Structure 1
Amino acid sequence: MRLFLALIPPPALRERLGELADAAHSRCGGRRTPDENLHLTLAFLGKVSEERAAALVDWMHGLAVPPGKWQLDAWGHFRGPGIVWVGGSRPDPALQRLHETLWDRLEAHGIPGRPSRYVPHITLLRRAGRLDADGLPAPALAWRYNRLELIHSINNGQDVRYTPLARSQAT
């Protein structure tokens, strides 16, 4: 099973992110992330056995995420894969701490894969033909979060579907 830990935007924010994705798609091309797949990855776990996934589900039920607020006010891109994203113009200390804390706990459970660098972002496009955000509407969104989800990424060869397996406790 291919798994990751993510914050899932509430419906109104997801709708606004979808509007930004539409604007970016019309300017940059590429493959647009479907609204139902918009999220902020905090830890990509990769392929995990069913047994390990079941243990992670149990772990998630006891996990509490400190509430936070993330300001999304900048466009960005990753040149190699042609990804266009929105995120914060400045590092967010609370998201960085959450990311680090999660990886400390995951590694204590024997799960490897901590990245050397973490850039909080929401991927709106993949394989974009243009990576220029000039002329796109300025993102000015506030995301209040307090719950994390364990997501199973299912790729059937045509599209990717995300299925939540577990949620942390709401705080």
Structure 2
Amino acid sequence: MRLFLALEPPPELRARLGALADIARARCGGRRVSDASLHLTLAFLGEVEAAQAEALVAWLQGETPAGGEWHLDCWGAFRRPGIVWVGGRTPDPALTALQARLWDGLERLGHGGRPSRFMPHVTLLRRSRHLSTEALPPVELAWRWRRLTLLRSFTLDDGPRYEVLARSA
């Protein structure tokens, strides 16, 4: 099964991110990420065997992140595969520390694939035709986070869907 660790936005923030996705889609085209699928990926694990997934669930349920507040204040785009996102202009020390600590634990559990850099963002659009974000409105959002989620990813005809396998304490 295809797994990743993420932060999920609270409902009010999820709705605000969804509204930004609608604005971005009107200007950039592409496929909008559904509100239910909006998240911040901390660690993509890829294909994981069932026994490893069970160990991850147990490990995550024992994790107690300190929490923090991430400020989203910019738009961005990744040329491949046409992704439009929102994120922060400056690195967030708490998120960076959390992501590094998670990878330390994941490596102790035998998972590889730690990325060489971490660029926190929330994907709003995929396969966008126009990646220029200059004309999009200013972003000023605060995301208070404190819980981690282990998600399983399914790819359907209309895009990815996620199933929650576990949450941290």
Where on the TM-score scale, by shorter chain, does this alignment land: which range?
over 0.9
In the other structure, the counterpart of 1:121 is: 121
- Name the CA distance, whole Å, in 2 between partners of 1:157 and 1:26: 22
- Name the CA distance, whole Å, in 1 between partners of 2:156 and 2:74: 32
In the other structure, the counterpart of 1:78 is: 78
In the other structure, the counterpart of 2:31 is: 31
Query: Following superposition of structure 1 onto structure 2, how do residues 64-103 of structure 1 map, counting pairs within 5 Å?
Result: 64-103=64-103
Report the TM-score, using the length of structure 2 for normalisation: 0.98
Report the TM-score, using the length of structure 1 for normalisation: 0.96
- Name the CA distance, whole Å, in 1 between partners of 2:167 and 2:78: 29
Q: CA offset at residue 81 of structure 1?
A: 1.1
- Name the CA distance, whole Å, in 1 between partners of 2:18 and 2:116: 29
Deviation sequence 1:94-116 (CA, Å, 0-9, x none) = 10000100001100110001011
Query: Following superposition of structure 1 onto structure 2, how do residues 1-171 of structure 1 map, counting pairs within 5 Å?
Result: 1-169=1-169
Number of equivalences: 169
Q: CA offset at residue 158 of structure 1?
A: 3.8
Q: What percentage of aligned pairs have identical amino acids? A: 59
- Name the CA distance, whole Å, in 1 between partners of 2:67 and 2:114: 23
- Amino acid paired to 1:118: F
- Name the CA distance, whole Å, in 1 between partners of 2:59 and 2:132: 41
- Name the CA distance, whole Å, in 2 between partners of 1:10 and 1:29: 26
Question: Structure 1: any 5+ residue segments left out of the alignment?
Answer: none
- Amino acid paired to 1:36: A
- Name the CA distance, whole Å, in 2 between partners of 1:158 and 1:82: 16
Deviates more, 1:154-163 or 1:143-152: 154-163
- Amino acid paired to 1:119: M
SS at match of 1:12: helix
Deviation sequence 1:9-64 (CA, Å, 0-9, x none) = 00000000000000000000011101100000000000000110011011111011
Deviation sequence 1:70-121 (CA, Å, 0-9, x none) = 0000001111211100000101111000010000110011000101111000
SS at match of 1:144: strand
* Runs of 4+, deviation exceeding 2 Å: 156-159
- Amino acid paired to 2:87: G
Structure 1 vs Structure 2 CA RMSD: 0.8
